[in-house]
Amino acid sequence: MTDIAILETEISTAIAGAPDEAALEAVRVAALGKSGSVTALLKTLGGLSPDERKVQGPAINGLKDRVNAALNARKEGFKGAALDAKLATETVDVTLPVREAPAELGRVHPISQVIDELTAIFADMGFAVAEGPDIETDDYNFTKLNFPEGHPAREMHDTFYFNPKPDGSRLLLRTHTSPVQVRTMLKQKPPIRVIIPGRTYRSDSDQTHTPMFHQVEGLVIDKTAHLGHLKWILEEFCKAFFEVDNVKMRFRPSFFPFTEPSLEVDIQCKRDKGEVRFGEGDDWLEILGCGMVHPNVLRNCGLNPDEVQGFAWGMGIDRIAMLKYGMPDLRPFFEADVRWLSHYGFRPLDFPTLAGGLSA
């Protein structure tokens, strides 16, 4: 019995002194393993007399149970200490703001948003969206649109030209989206009702001009289209886009090679503390150009001006985005500054609809 008490004391001391779980496992193996000290005592029971076995058996098994209990208690202590250490290194400051989900953090560029708004408005009026290449021929960009030879718009200081081909012809970056009007009239028979949003390029750069910018043009061709229809479409567009109940517009005579008569359109506004508000005030702001499609353009596109007629208009998407959302400078639109985009951008899932509000 004395040997059992001494062995228990030695094992208890080893368990208490184990610095980690690996050392504790070594103590367990030394006591309860196949060659352990407690296991060796259990093996001696077979050589004892029945009377001795009655005394030694309960004593040795009791030692085994107490050693197991001590080992388990020490092991749980290690687990608790490890958990406390892990919690100490992974503390969460509940006063910090919650990190936004990617769908909440990302932003839609204002140009993309405004194009979606334009599409929603004109689709409600029955217009389709037409697209075309950014790289165009001189014929589509100028000649078929009634630009005469020597027109200033054809010059290098206004237009980005590519290197001449062997035959002397040169491709160019389109200076407006009007070539898509030509392409549409060449491949589609009237009636035609399309809008054409897209990138355009001109050699110009300042606070309100960039070498690459965005335009949207509209085209209607049928047998009875007239300026009254054009006026109604533009008024309805302005009311929907600027989200006002009423607008006043004035149409001034102008000149464009591809329309006759040609008009520039001003919208009533109020300038107050750096803001422009539409539908009120005594001031006017030019927002677009328009007119009846020139008969020469119709002939160049294979249409008979004695049978069909139409009208067209065009405006800068970047410009109307600046007016609607109060952006003072055009250049940041193309600088890829995440701070600017997070301020002026739109939430990805806020799709513009006429029923729900374009910019709601």
Does 143 share its domain with 279?
Answer: yes
Instruction: Using the predicted structure, report yes or no on whether residue 136 has a pLDDT greater than 90.
Output: yes
Q: What is the CATH number of the domain that holds 307?
A: 3.30.930.10
Does 197 share its domain with 293?
Answer: yes
If pLDDT is split at 50, 70 and 90, which confidence band does 189 have?
very high
Q: Indicate whether 354 belongs to any domain.
A: no
If pLDDT is split at 50, 70 and 90, which confidence band does 262 have?
very high
Q: What is the mean pLDDT of residues 112-126?
A: 92
Arithmetic mean of pLDDT over the chain = 85
pLDDT, tens digit, for every residue of 321-335? 888 888 888 888 888
Does 171 share its domain with 114?
Answer: yes
Does 32 share its domain with 110?
Answer: no
Q: Indicate whether 352 belongs to any domain.
A: no
Instruction: Using the predicted structure, report yes or no on whether residue 133 has a pLDDT greater than 70.
Output: yes
Looking at the structure of the chain, the number of domains it has is 2
Q: Indicate whether 153 belongs to any domain.
A: yes
Does 302 share its domain with 267?
Answer: yes
Q: What is the mean pLDDT of residues 17-30?
A: 81
If pLDDT is split at 50, 70 and 90, which confidence band does 102 have?
confident
**Verdict on whether the full-model pTM lies above 0.75:** no
Domain of 58, in residue numbers: 2-89
Does 209 share its domain with 123?
Answer: yes
* pLDDT of amino acid 157: 59
3-state secondary structure the chain: CHHHHHHHHHHHHHHHHCCCHHHHHHHHHHHHCCCCHHHHHHHHHHHCCHHHHHHHHHHHHHHHHHHHHHHHHHHHHHHHHHHHHHHHHCCCCCCCCCCCCHHHHCCECHHHHHHHHHHHHHHHCCCEECCCCCEEEHHHHCHHHCCCCCCHHHCCCCCCECCCCCCCCCEEECCCCHHHHHHHHHHCCCCEEEEEEEEEECCCCECCECCEEEEEEEEEEECCCCHHHHHHHHHHHHHHHHCCCCCCEEEEEEEECCEEEEEEEEEEEEEECCEEEECCCCEEEEEEEEEEECHHHHHHCCCCCCCCEEEEEEEEHHHHHHHHHCCCCCHHHHCCCHHHHHHHCECCCCCCECCCECCC
Does 250 share its domain with 112?
Answer: yes
If pLDDT is split at 50, 70 and 90, which confidence band does 1 have?
low
Does 84 share its domain with 163?
Answer: no
Does 187 share its domain with 258?
Answer: yes
